[in-house]
Structure 1
Amino acid sequence: MASDAAPATIGFIGLGMMGLPMARCLLAKGFSLVACDSAEAARAALAEDAPEGRLAFAPSPSGVAELCNLTLLMLPNSDIVAQVAEGEGGLLPALREGSVVVDMGSSIPAETRRLAQVAAARGASLIDAPVSGSVIKARAGTLAIMIGGDDAAFAAAEAAMRAMGEKIIRTGPVGSAHAMKALNNYVYAAGLLAATEALQMADKLGLDLKVFTDVLNASSGRNVATETKLRQEIISGRYAGGFQLGLMRKDLETAGAIAAETGIDAEALALCRRIWEAALGELGPKADNTELHRFLERDRLRP
């Protein structure tokens, strides 16, 4: 059940692949929600088996803000966050003084800081709390959640965050969590790319790929891709790691925006962005990120 520190009702905007199980997790932990999503199917999915009297829907983001002192956003990108926050029927103009908005998607840090300033001008707070983990972890409430923002805003959101997350990491001021999430996912993308290319070379040499994976995981080449993707998704041919190519590309573009903001000539990042963009162009945004292996095989077979 929700702790005494939890607000009576939490706003939740964005019932997509991750947002829906996160919202369900909050309901299962005893929270009440006012939810908002443009998709009727998503609203119906959340309403199914929802505890009686603890779920309501608002027709617009402003309707959520009028009813809730804490609102969580789980939206695809900064452009959609800005539309929800500042567009017609938007969240920010309707915020109560002292209310807190938590952007839990993967947004561009500079845009997060800008929206936080807009919220502050209304006497409210906007903080960032992107998540790491699969849909399975969202369902189980075992996500890793990075949180950027001040102590007061964190205190207002903490009970809800702990209901959805197993590991809570405070990263610093607002925008820092979105920056760290994007940079983390760049490192993951680079690791998966390197592991996939190494696997292809091992295959051409006739090596036992499962044994090669064991060697990587017992040695300095170990990373999350070698531990959770090579044997399970690529060698098996399953290609169902649970993270779409389109989302991977979005995180790499956010990392690129950080490189531009900081003036860092990130050559490895540029290479990753080019390869992932090409893979997305051939396989489509909904392909699993482990299908990079298929793309590289096909790409190298071309004359």
Structure 2
Amino acid sequence: MNTNRRVAVIGLGSMGGAMASTLHTAGWDVIGFDPSEGARATAAEGGITTTASLEDLAGTPYAVLSLPSAAIVEATVPTLLATPGVVAIVDTTTSEPGTSKAMAELAASKDAAFVDAPVSGGRAGAATGTLSAFVGGTEAALASAEPVLQALTGGNFAHIGGPGSGNVVKLLNNVLAAANLVSVGEALGVAKAYGIDPAVAAESISNASGGSKVSANMYPNWVLSGTHDSGFSLGLMARDAALAIDVAREIGEQPELLAAAAGQWQEALALLGPAADFTEIARTVAPAVTPAGAPAAGDAA
């Protein structure tokens, strides 16, 4: 066994499970952990070795984190570093810059590397090794983590700056996407009110200066179709949008337009619940353009 190709994947949900599969296919010796027995079973069906104990992964040369929150990252990293041998920890979680800075310092004190590398590309990108990543860390940490980043992104990652900077830019990316989902929905709602087919309006706008991935792909594929099956939850997007505003305000910035959009996501969260697909924001800002329609009483249950 080549110990330099051993990688632990912590968090085997939609994204983590797909990344574990990609690494396995690329020839890495993968062992996965998730507190959910169901997630472990699904990963095992795909040929991934799993463990029910995080402690079993201490000292594994490489680790990929795909976790729900910064707090869980903070609780996980010390366990991985408890045994010597860690080369690099790649945290793909949409986390907080302060946490990443602290974890990078802790890793460095153990002669290991930690990079914050939140990803974009969804489960399809995770399953095919075509994610993009926003990487924060020192040059030395990036060099240590690069073999894993290459496997997950095919080289499509940007070194943003020092520890925590990847988190900042990923949060800004997500709040911009959140604002665009609101604005495109409102625009298509106006088109619909004028008797214009929202699909025709979206296609036309997508070929002009107002176009975006939201108008070209998200609305046609997941909203206008009524499928709302992107695989990314409304709860996570609402969290990311709110966190982006918090990060901005921590340094004295007041992004008013983005904050207003983030507020609309909190309203949608209250109406639809965290498990709803994130594209269901359209049901609250432009219910006429999606077959799913406006939220009904009990949708958030």
TM-score, scaled to structure 1: 0.88
Report the count of equivalent residues: 286
* Alignment match, 2:254: 265
Farther off after superposition, 6-15 or 202-211: 6-15
Matches within 5 A, 1:180-219: 180-219=169-208
Change (3 A) 1:215 1:49: closer
| Paired residues of 1:103 and 1:129 also in contact (CA < 8 A) | yes
In structure 1, stretches of 5+ residues that fail to align are none
Helix, strand or coil: the match of 2:14? Answer: coil
* Alignment match, 1:108: 96
Is residue 152 of structure 1 aligned with residue 140 of structure 2? yes
Equivalents in 1 of 2:46, 2:89: separation in Å? 27
Cα drift, residue 255 of structure 1: 0.4
Identical amino acids, percent of aligned pairs: 35
Match of 1:69 among 61, 67, 84: 61
Equivalents in 1 of 2:131, 2:111: separation in Å? 30
* Alignment match, 2:77: 85
Equivalents in 2 of 1:142, 1:97: separation in Å? 28
In structure 2, stretches of 5+ residues that fail to align are 288-293, 296-301
Equivalents in 1 of 2:36, 2:108: separation in Å? 30
Match of 1:234 among 223, 237, 254: 223
| Paired residues of 1:108 and 1:257 also in contact (CA < 8 A) | no
| Paired residues of 1:95 and 1:124 also in contact (CA < 8 A) | no
Helix, strand or coil: the match of 2:58? Answer: helix
The one-character-per-residue Cα deviations of 1:226-250 (angstroms, maximum 9, x if unpaired) are 0112222222222223321011012
Cα drift, residue 281 of structure 1: 1.1
Farther off after superposition, 184-193 or 109-118: 109-118
Equivalents in 2 of 1:211, 1:13: separation in Å? 43
The one-character-per-residue Cα deviations of 1:81-106 (angstroms, maximum 9, x if unpaired) are 112234xxx234x1426632111110
Equivalents in 2 of 1:198, 1:149: separation in Å? 39
AA matched with 2:76: V
Helix, strand or coil: the match of 1:229? Answer: helix
Farther off after superposition, 114-123 or 225-234: 114-123
| Paired residues of 2:117 and 2:166 also in contact (CA < 8 A) | yes
Cα drift, residue 131 of structure 1: 0.7
Equivalents in 2 of 1:253, 1:137: separation in Å? 25
AA matched with 1:80: I
Equivalents in 2 of 1:207, 1:282: separation in Å? 28
* Alignment match, 1:162: 150
TM-score, scaled to structure 2: 0.89
| Paired residues of 2:175 and 2:262 also in contact (CA < 8 A) | no
Cα drift, residue 271 of structure 1: 0.8
CA RMSD of aligned residues (A): 1.9
AA matched with 2:106: V
Equivalents in 1 of 2:150, 2:99: separation in Å? 26
Match of 1:13 among 5, 10, 14: 10
| Paired residues of 1:95 and 1:122 also in contact (CA < 8 A) | no
Helix, strand or coil: the match of 1:76? Answer: coil
* Alignment match, 1:128: 116
The one-character-per-residue Cα deviations of 1:52-80 (angstroms, maximum 9, x if unpaired) are xxx544443333123x1211111011011
Equivalents in 2 of 1:79, 1:191: separation in Å? 28
